[in-house]
Chain A
Amino acid sequence: MTEKKIRIMVAKPGLDGHDRGARILARCFRDAGFEVIYTGCHQTPEQIAATAIQEDVDLVGLSCLSGAHRYLFPRVVELLKEQGADDIVVIGGGIIPDQDFQTLYDAGIKAIFTPGSPLDTIVRWVRTNIRPRVNL
């Protein structure tokens, strides 16, 4: 059997076209040996959840710089749960004020990385916390 690859989806929910961070992260995940599904800007939470399931990813990384993260991030978690896919881990990044962190953690976002986070910190987080799945 070959190794089990980690599959990650990098997505930008909502009305926000600032995707440089998301692209850099996608590239950095590629260089870490992960398979990255990048879906571009302006995605609805519904599109993101459906895509995560179709692609059977281990992790969804959401990037939001528009200020709407308090609605968009939890909504993705909720939709995954509704569709029986709450084993897919959701993390977030972007312009997120400190006082919003706890709200997002409470909503099921497992980690938050804001501007200035070193790329290898993020990769290390993924390697430590994500195990590619085995079961049916």
Chain B
Amino acid sequence: MTQKPEEPEEREQLQKIRAGDVRTASRLIRNLEDESPEARNAMKRIFPYTGRAHVVGITGSPGAGKSTLVDALIASFRKQRKGVGVLAVDPTSPFTGGAILGDRIRMQRHAEDPGVFVRSLATRGALGGLSKAVGDAVHVMDVMGKELILVETVGTGQQEVEIINHSHTVIVVLVPGMGDEIQAIKAGIMEIADIFVINKADRDGSHQLLNELMAMLNMVPEFPGGWRPPVIRIGNCFDPGPFAESLGELAAAINDHYRSLVETDLLGDRMKRKTMVEIHEALRDAILAPILKEMTESGEMEEIAGRLLRKETDPYTIAEEVARRRLK
């Protein structure tokens, strides 16, 4: 699509976002979630200014303490005078399409701090632990000048690893008592951590979990860029002294990891990973989505479903036919 000449409102929107205006940014994120074409056009103008923020993903099972950790991290990075953006994802009901977005309950003490922008997102059917709009929402916060962007995934199981495509540093939050040592060597979420947190470490079983993680890490022959994921134990948040201390350790590890990515040039790799995902998604939206829409609206999809159920044809033949017909 060729560039139209810029409208004054569009220029104003970009300027406001670059100046950190929350209302404009939040509205744009909303329109991105609703997949409005205007929002996509806005992203074309925003994209050139992206790529400055340090994006940190926080993932772990439901109730592991992700939101509480995010709250503590906001406080810690605000002390370093960094602007902080938070994207907190909670699940959408597969039945009604509704959602309860409750992560920010834990973060409300920062609500009035102009240096902090917290935005809740519903997954809206996305399966990887995030929502489809997360990538673009990160860009918007980045262009607002947020130096640190924390992305909190939904409570995850073993397989929701999409966060690696959208962050430079991934924190996997574990709690004691979730399973035996086999869990620690499984594929999936245990492989994506740049930093492990053993949360609620005052509970029984935290030493065992630490040992299992160490044993797992000791089996890795070589870490990319020489970064061995540190394991940080964080205890009860109502025990302020030790909590603050371990939190300081976590904040330092986040900064160290970013420095290590820059020094070893791995930052470029991670950014490329995100770019590849974005172009795949944009192509899907531009090529596949209109075809599906048209086939659904014209009733062709219904008719195909009937033929498939009667075994008159198969999905592979249909796909080849559609490709021949539409992608000329």
A-side interface residues toward B, CB under 8 Å?
Answer: 1-5, 7, 26-27, 29-40, 43-44, 46-47, 50-51, 53-56, 83-85, 132-134, 136
Contacts and interface: CB of A to CB of B under 8 A. Distances in A.
B208 interface: no
B34 interface: yes
B34 A83 contact: no
Given A2-B34, A50-B111, A39 B105 contact: yes
Contacts of A7: 30
Nearest to B24: A136
Interface in B163-199: none
Interface stretch (B117-125, B221-229, B301-309, B316-324): B117-125
B26 A55 contact: yes
A34 B99 CA distance: 6
A50 B35 CA distance: 25
Nearest to A36: B100
A50 to B, nearest CB: 5
A124 B118 CA distance: 30
B96 interface: yes
A85 B9 contact: no
A133 B33 CA distance: 13
**Which among B92, B101, B124 has the greatest number of chain A C-beta atoms within 10 A?**
B101
B55 interface: no
A39 B108 contact: yes
Contacts of B23: 53, 56, 83-85
B104 interface: yes
A34 B92 CA distance: 10
Nearest to A50: B111
Contacts of A46: 111-112
A27 B33 CA distance: 22
Contacts of A4: 34
B97 interface: yes
Contacts of A38: 100-102, 105
23 contacts: A1-B35, A1-B36, A2-B34, A5-B33, A5-B124, A26-B100, A29-B98, A30-B96, A31-B93, A33-B93, A35-B122, A36-B98, A37-B101, A37-B102, A37-B120, A50-B112, A54-B22, A54-B117, A55-B119, A55-B120, A83-B23, A85-B23, A136-B24
B70 interface: no
Closest CB pairs A-B (n = 4): A30-B98, A56-B26, A47-B111, A40-B105
B96 A54 contact: no
Contacts of B105: 38-40
Nearest to B98: A30
